[in-house]
């Protein structure tokens, strides 16, 4: 069966991909999928229920170099490249970490080299709605009033994992101060431009999130970060802001997204005791994270001379 990519209609995100198998995929198929990820931001591979962990890792490799998560508690027991979110146990040990990513973020936003592409599979679907909310931060930037765009362009943003670092099983009875020091040492805050230039599409991305962005550097007022988050829809607790789209998972789907251009927020099962498990692999794609990374190199064509 030939691989078919059907772009989403009516300005929605997410192309549907049918006819794909890791065993049958050609180099041309992968090139087309990569192109679709950057063009459509999200692609949804259908009918992948039989994919093995080895094949899942191989799939990921076609989107760049796989970066295993820096905290081992999240690793798949046999495949450290796979990040496991689950409330299950295996051999008396927790399998991955439960209820991850329940806040607006891009994966690894707090890393010196943030991730390019996320490949995500909901392996065990709980009853009810399980999905991921997404915001296209290229569109969110485009929709800003010109004055806010200019303010954002001349600032940088500091991102940190500290608010969402998860206590590991071995941390019980450790002094909190030690743990905080360790977190700051292993994952110190990372600074990136507030407006990142996408190396593949050339688009400007408003690269801030409610969960990981701690503060802006070089802003003329303290309220700028809040205003940017608000305008993008990330402060809307009802999730009805027009920038927010929800993808709910059907059995067998693998969702691949452009992790530079999107922020996301997990929608977990309403019943926390229902068994649930997801796998993901994440990559850096070989393009620079930001095509225009130096603050000094900014301003060309923006009319700002700060
Ligand atoms: O447990 C979690 O919510 C994981 C989060 C702190 N980091 C995911 C990531 O890729 O940045
Ligand atoms: Fe995430």
Average of per-residue pLDDT across 262-266: 98
Ligand 1 pocket by C-beta < 6 Å: which residues?
Answer: 97, 100-101, 105, 107-108, 161, 164, 166
In a domain? residue 220: yes
- Tell me the per-residue pLDDT of 108-128, one tens digit each, with 9 for 90 and over: 999 999 999 999 999 999 988
pLDDT tens per residue across span 154-169: 999 999 999 999 999 9
Is residue 72, in this structure, part of any structural domain at all? yes
Pocket test for ligand 1, best of 94, 105, 207 (most atoms within 8 A of CB): 105
Ligand nearest to the CA of 212: 1
Tell me which residue of 156, 263, 142 sits closest to 211, measured CA to CA: 263
Element (H, E) at 37: helix 27-40
| Dihedral (Cα; 235, 136, 121, 96), 10-degree rounding | -40
CATH code for the domain in which residue 213 is found = 3.60.130.10
Distance 101 CA to ligand 2 centre (A): 5
Residue 2 placed within a domain:
no
pLDDT(1) > 90: no
Instruction: Establish if 62 belongs to a structural domain.
Output: no
How confident is the model over 39-57, as a mean pLDDT? 97
Q: Is residue 143 part of a domain?
A: yes
In a domain, 39, yes or no: no
Range of the domain at 207: 67-284
Instruction: Determine, yes or no, domain membership for 37.
Output: no
Ligand with an atom nearest the CA of residue 262: 2
What is the per-residue pLDDT across 131-159, written as a single tens digit (0 to 9) for each?
999 999 999 999 999 999 999 999 999 99
- How far does residue 101's CA lie from ligand 1's centre (Å)? 5
Ligand number nearest CA of 107 is 1
pLDDT for residue 304 is more than 60: no
Q: How many domains does the chain have?
A: 1
This prediction's pTM: 0.95
| φ and ψ at residue 182, rounded to 5 degrees | -65, -45
* Model confidence pLDDT, tens digit, residues 292-302: 998 754 544 44
* Ligand 1 atom closest to Cα of residue 103: 3
Q: How far is CA 303 from CA 90, 146, 300, in A?
A: 57, 11, 7
Say if 52 falls within a structural domain. no
Task: Report the separation in Å between the CA atom of 172 and the middle of ligand 2, taken as the mean of its atom positions.
Answer: 25
**Which residue CA neighbors atom 1 of ligand 1 most closely?**
100
**Half-sphere exposure at residue 167, Cβ-oriented, CA atoms within 13 angstroms:** 9
């Amino acid at each position: 069966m030939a691989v078919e990519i059907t772009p989403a209609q009516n300005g929605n995100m997410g192309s549907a991909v049918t006819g794909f198998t890791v065993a049958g995929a050609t180099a041309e198929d992968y090139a087309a999928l990569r192109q679709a990820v950057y063009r459509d931001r999200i692609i949804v591979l259908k009918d992948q229920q039989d994919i093995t962990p080895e094949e899942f890792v191989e799939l990921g490799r076609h989107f760049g170099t796989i970066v295993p998560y820096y905290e081992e508690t999240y690793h798949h027991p046999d495949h450290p490249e796979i990040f496991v979110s689950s409330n299950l146990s295996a051999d008396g040990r927790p399998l991955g970490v439960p209820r991850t990513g329940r806040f607006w973020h891009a994966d690894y936003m707090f890393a010196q080299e943030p991730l390019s592409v996320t490949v995500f599979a909901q392996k065990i679907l709980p009853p009810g709605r399980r999905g991921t909310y997404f915001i296209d931060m290229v569109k969110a930037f485009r929709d800003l009033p010109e004055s806010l765009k200019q303010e954002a362009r001349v600032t940088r943003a500091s991102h940190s994992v500290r608010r969402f670092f998860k206590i590991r099983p071995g941390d019980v009875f450790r002094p909190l101060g030690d743990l905080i020091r360790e977190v700051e040492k292993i994952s110190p805050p990372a600074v990136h431009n507030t407006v990142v230039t996408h190396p593949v599409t050339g688009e400007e991305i408003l690269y801030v999130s409610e969960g990981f962005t701690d503060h802006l550097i070089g802003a003329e007022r303290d309220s700028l970060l809040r205003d940017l988050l608000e305008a993008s829809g990330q402060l809307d607790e009802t999730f009805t802001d027009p920038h927010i789209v929800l993808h709910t998972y059907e059995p067998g789907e693998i969702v691949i997204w452009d992790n530079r251009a999107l922020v996301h927020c997990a929608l977990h099962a309403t019943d926390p005791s229902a068994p649930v498990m997801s796998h993901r692999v994440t990559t850096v794609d070989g393009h620079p994270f930001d095509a225009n990374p130096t603050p000094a190199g900014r301003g060309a064509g923006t009319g700002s001379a700060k």
